[in-house]
Amino acid sequence: MDFFVPRSWADALAAKAEHPAAVPLAGGTDVMVELNFDRLRPDALLDLSRVEELQDWGHDNGALRVGAGVSYTRVIDELGKLVPALAMASRTVGSPQIRNRGTVGGNLGSASPAGDAHPPLLATGASVEVASVRGSRVVPVEEFFTGPKRHVLEPDELIYAFVVRPAAGPQQFSKVGTRNAMVIAVASFALALDPEKRSVGTGIGSAAPTPLRAKPAEEFLEGELASGALWDAPRPLPERLVAHFSELVASAASPIDDVRGTAAYRRRALAVMARRALGWAWSEYQRS
Amino acid sequence: MRLQFTVNSRLCEADDVWEGESLLFVLRERLGLWGAKNACEQGECGSCSVVLDGVLVCACLVGAGQAAGREIVTVEGLSDDDGLDPVQEAFLEAGAVQCGFCTPGLVVATHELLRRHPSPTDAEVREALAGNLCRCTGYEQILDAVRLAASAGPARRAE
Ligand SMILES: Cc1cc2nc3c(=O)[nH]c(=O)nc-3n(C[C@H](O)[C@H](O)[C@H](O)COP(=O)(O)OP(=O)(O)OC[C@H]3O[C@@H](n4cnc5c(N)ncnc54)[C@H](O)[C@@H]3O)c2cc1C
Ligand code: FES
Ligand code: FES
């Protein structure tokens, strides 16, 4: 096995182009488990933890660009106000030790339907910037996942960053699991309200082959908020509106029965999380 | 691979390291530092907790090559000839050690918590130690030990 240690982004891309089968290693919280348990024996590992460019975040034309190597701990400590739903989700990941090492780029790279970063990235309309020696491209998060643990990366491509509009309004994330720490989501849900664009974003996790948006729910709520002039005069939302929104979220999912929960339970949990997330987000908007 | 690390302020070298090897394996099997325990090798139990460049990590999930050239503090680095670290004293005093398998990880995690938050609330302690499992004590004595260590003043060592 080879162990490549590029020190710059250009070197990382060159190494990946030359050794497309090399497995990128960021925080290692997914890859090392596979190695320790003999489930992965790649020809080479490509250590990205010393690539400075991946550890940076900054603003770019009003958007926020966060390097793939930024850990959950840093998302929580440094980006809580800019990407509140992602910060909430990051707080639920594993344990302090896991959050100190695990990265959003690694979560995208693993592309698990249960990855906790994914619903917030979907709800906030984020994009993934990927690159190779051939050039770079920007993939909307909702087009990034192609199946369970599968994504659109070509063999010579690496994830550089995600790009997102800083929060313009309330965001929420909620996750159901068997206890509070160290839990893979049985189902999860993220919501982002954008009063400037007058738009609603959603993201569902662990309830379909890939993370996904509940577009009918988004459109329904956008329509109701517009027709009721609720953005300008935020009254309490009618119960029937909230109920219908949560039903639309639940029906957008296509969950399965597995060891962590049944499909029926996941649908039910999604409806409850959607109702609560909307309640919390809307009261925050009313107060603002 | 041949790799160098600074472990507990000493420069160490390990030879013939396999490229897919973990930092935990290097510490235990190549450097003879058995303080960090190997229980799950999947980040679930925290018994392998060490501090890597000032950050609490599971050594089983760090690639050996990723730790090369970096500074590692293991439980062995907390005590010295003058005696135990206040956190270790507190664990003994509070009866927070039964079989002891989880203890090194919990001591390192507690030490790291108190370095950042000298007087943590109970909620902060529970959150900070959520990645460290103990199958013996039921955790109450561990919480007592953390409170005791916090009241005994800031841990002696900065790292
Ligand atoms: C005990 C434990 C608890 C966990 N709890 C949670 C949880 O609550 N929620 C959750 O979502 N996840 C959880 N995980 C899974 C894991 O921590 C996350 O998926 C994390 O985001 C992975 O990031 P990493 O940097 O450690 O990735 P790595 O393990 O380094 O890499 C993961 C994958 O991404 C690829 N990759 C990494 N960086 C790049 C890049 N820049 N370009 C292209 N490919 C790349 C790797 O090749 C690999 O396929 C847990 C894991 C453990 C061990
Ligand atoms: S052995 Fe590393 S967390 Fe269990
Ligand atoms: S004392 Fe035995 S596991 Fe904690």
Do B65 and B32 lie in a common domain?
yes
C-beta of B143 in contact with ligand 2 (< 6 A): no
Domain's final residue, options B22, B48, B76:
B76
Facing A28 at nearest CB: one of B46, B56, B66: B66
Tokens, residue B91 = 């664990």
pLDDT single digits (tens) B133-144: 999 999 999 999
> Per the domain annotation, does B133 fall within a domain?
yes
Closest ligand by atom to B46 CA: 2
Domains of chain A as residue ranges with CATH: 171-287 (3.30.390.50)
* B96 shares a domain with B126: yes
Q: Is B141 in the pocket of ligand 3 (CB under 6 A)?
A: no
- Whether residue A33 and residue B18 make contact (CB cut-off 8 A), yes or no, is no
The first and second tokens of residue B90, run together, are 């507190």
Tell me, yes or no, whether B137 and B107 share the same domain: yes
Say yes or no: B8 and B65 in one domain: yes
The pairs formed by A52-58 with CB atoms below 8 angstroms and a separation of 24 or more are A52/A7, A52/A8, A52/A9, A53/A8, A53/A9, A53/A160, A54/A9, A54/A26, A54/A105, A54/A160, A54/A161, A57/A161
Output the CA–CA distances (angstroms, integers) from residue B23 to A25, A95, B84, in the order listed: 14, 19, 25
* B156 domain residue, yes or no: no
Tell me what pLDDT residue B131 has.
97
The SS3 assignment for B119 reads coil
Closest CA to B75 of B157, B152, B5: B157
> Do B57 and B97 sit in the same domain of this protein?
no
Are residues B42 and A180, on separate chains, in Cβ contact within 8 Å?
A: no
Looking at the structure, do residues B57 and B39 belong to the same domain, yes or no? yes
Main-chain dihedrals φ then ψ at residue A261, nearest 5 degrees = 175, 165
The residue range of the domain holding B22 is: 3-76
What pLDDT score was predicted for residue B80? 87
**Residue B159 confidence (pLDDT):** 41
Whether B32 has its CB under 8 Å from any CB of chain A: the answer is: no
**Percentage of residues of chain A with pLDDT beyond 70:** 100
pLDDT at B155: 47
pLDDT at A137 over 80: yes
B8 torsion bin: left (phi>0), alpha (psi -120 to 50), beta (else): left
Last residue of a domain, one of B27, B49, B76: B76
Instruction: Give a yes or no: residue B117 inside a domain.
Output: yes
Per the listing, tokens 């190997």 go with B38
The Å distance, Cα A127 to ligand 1 centre, comes to 18
Q: Which of A45, A95, A96 lies closest to B20 in CB terms?
A: A45
Asked if residue B46 and residue B7 are part of one domain, the reply reads yes
Look at residue B142 and tell me if it is in a domain: yes
| B118 located within any domain | yes
CA distance A97 to chain B (A): 5
Give, in order, the Cα–Cα distances in Å from B92 to each of A42, A174, B84, B119.
44, 39, 10, 20
- The CATH number covering residue B135 comes to 1.10.150.120
User: What span, in angstroms and rounded, lies between the C-alpha atoms of A114 and B8?
Assistant: 38
Phi/psi class of residue A29: alpha, beta or left (left: φ > 0; alpha: ψ in -120 to 50)? alpha
> Which one is predicted more confidently, A179 or A278?
A278
Interface pTM (ipTM) of the complex? 0.96
Compute how many other C-beta atoms are within 10 angstroms of the C-beta atom of residue B123: 8
The answer to whether residue B157 sits within a structural domain is no
In chain A, whose CA is at the least distance from the CA of B3? A3
3-state secondary structure of A134: coil
In a domain, B58, yes or no: yes
**Mutant choice from B26, B28, B53, B61 vs A, greatest count of A C-beta within 10 A:** B61
Same domain, B29 and B60: yes
Beta strands in B15-142 (DSSP E): 49-52, 55-58, 71-73
Examine the fold and report which residue of B33, B53, B76 is the final residue of a domain before the chain moves on: B76
A94 with B131: Cβ contact below 8 A: yes
Q: Is B71 part of a structural domain of the chain?
A: yes
Stretches in chain B below the pLDDT threshold 70: 154-159
What's the rounded Cα separation, in Å, for the pair A61 and A57? Answer: 13
**Do B13 and B71 belong together in one domain?**
yes
B64 with B108, same domain: the answer is: no
Mean pLDDT of chain A: 97
Do B90 and B72 lie in a common domain?
no
Domain count for chain B, please give it. Answer: 2
> Is the C-beta atom of B134 inside 6 A of ligand 3?
yes
Q: Which helix (H) or strand (E) holds A139?
A: strand A135-140
Q: Is the same domain home to B71 and B90?
A: no
> Distance between CA atoms of A204 and A92, rounded to whole angstroms?
15
* B41 with A182: Cβ contact below 8 A: no
Inter-chain Cβ pairs, chain A and chain B, closer than 8 A: 88
